[in-house]
């Protein structure tokens, strides 16, 4: 059964996603969280990094909305199907979270590319940092690693993407994904979400949680393209029944 070690609410700070807004998160440090309890947390809009669970606590802004995709009714768009076909050339391995030199190097390359393209601040990640954020022992923690088995002639299979996720009895939750910048044209982030949806379908799970959708933030809008999807109303308390509203319909894009 879950045990709460600490709870804190951030002081308002400039929002990283929406200019002119103030942001605040509530953090809870929880240990011994069981899969069924993790599922309830997801249903109530919580996310996880290591032992830290969080969700927005902003005063006036409600732009961050938890989004999930119902597996049974999801239909990929034309563009998503194209990405899926490209992604078939990659081998996906599902297993426990691993911390090693190849994953640290891949994350460093990916983050450096984002620093250059999007102006992100440098954020070196040591093996200890990686293990604490992504490899903290958790019964739901999973890793999907993507490999190119046919890179340049003479090269060994190449690790080109890593997706961290949680698996609960009835859902998957996408936590974090990073990839080799050389494979950006393959839309690896889209491929990863499609793989999660396919994995959930084959295992009879109901939803894939994609985290917070922010319509006013260009870098977060991609989540809304997985249709139909469901959005959580408000910030329900632990003793309240969460309400998820269906949003959008399947459309064939160009």
Model pTM greater than 0.85? Answer: yes
- Residues 6 or more apart whose CB falls under 8 angstroms from that of 199 comprise 94, 172
Q: 148-199: per-residue pLDDT in tens?
A: 998 776 678 999 999 999 999 999 999 999 999 999 999 999 999 999 999 9
Q: 118-150: per-residue pLDDT in tens?
A: 788 888 889 999 999 999 999 999 999 999 998
Q: How many domains does the chain have?
A: 1
Is there a domain that residue 9 lies in? no
Q: 189-244: per-residue pLDDT in tens?
A: 999 999 999 999 999 999 999 999 998 887 788 899 999 999 999 999 999 999 99
Per-residue pLDDT at 154: 64
Q: How far is CA 102 from CA 98, 109, 127, in A?
A: 10, 11, 11
Q: What is the helix (H) or strand (E) element at residue 156, kind and residue range?
A: none
Task: Provide the total of helices (H) and of strands (E) in the chain, helices listed first.
Answer: 5, 14
Is there a domain that residue 79 lies in? yes
Closest Cα partner for 193 from 219, 217, 174? 174
Is there a domain that residue 85 lies in? yes
Is there a domain that residue 133 lies in? yes
Is there a domain that residue 19 lies in? no
Is there a domain that residue 39 lies in? no
Classify the C-alpha dihedral 214-219-223-226 as positive or negative.
Answer: positive
Let me know: does 230 contact 246? Beta carbons within 8 Å. Answer: yes
Domain that holds residue 168: 64-247
What DSSP letter does each residue of 119-140 carry, written as one string? -PPP----HHHHHHHT-S--TT
The pLDDT mean for the chain works out to: 93
Q: 17-51: per-residue pLDDT in tens?
A: 898 899 999 999 999 999 999 999 999 999 999 99
For residue 141, give the CATH number of its domain. 3.40.630.30
The model's confidence at residue 254, banded by pLDDT at 50, 70 and 90, is: very low
Is there a domain that residue 243 lies in? yes
Is there a domain that residue 194 lies in? yes
Integer Cα distance of 97 and 127 in angstroms: 13
């Amino acid at each position: 059964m879950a045990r709460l070690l600490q709870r804190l609410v951030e002081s308002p700070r400039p929002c990283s996603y929406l200019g002119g807004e103030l942001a605040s998160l509530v953090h809870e440090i929880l240990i011994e969280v069981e899969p069924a309890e993790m599922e309830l947390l997801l249903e109530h809009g919580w996310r996880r990094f290591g032992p830290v669970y969080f969700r927005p606590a902003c005063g006036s802004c409600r732009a961050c909305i938890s989004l999930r995709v119902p597996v049974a009714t999801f239909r990929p768009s034309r563009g998503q199907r194209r990405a899926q076909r490209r992604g078939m050339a990659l081998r996906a391995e599902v297993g426990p979270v691993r911390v090693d030199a190849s994953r640290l190097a891949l994350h460093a390359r990916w983050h450096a590319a984002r620093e250059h393209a999007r102006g992100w601040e440098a954020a070196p990640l040591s093996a200890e940092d990686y293990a604490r954020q992504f490899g903290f022992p958790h019964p739901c923690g999973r890793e999907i690693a993507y490999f190119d088995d046919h890179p340049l002639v003479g090269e060994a299979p190449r690790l080109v993407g890593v997706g961290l996720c949680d698996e609960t009895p009835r859902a998957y939750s996408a936590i974090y994904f990073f990839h080799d910048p050389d494979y950006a044209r393959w839309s690896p982030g889209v491929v990863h979400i499609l793989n999660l949806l396919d994995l959930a379908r084959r295992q009879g799970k109901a939803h894939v949680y994609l985290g917070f959708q922010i319509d006013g933030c260009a870098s977060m809008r991609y989540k809304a393209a997985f249709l139909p999807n469901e959005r959580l109303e408000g910030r329900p308390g632990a003793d309240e029944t969460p309400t998820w509203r269906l949003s959008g319909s399947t459309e064939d894009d160009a």
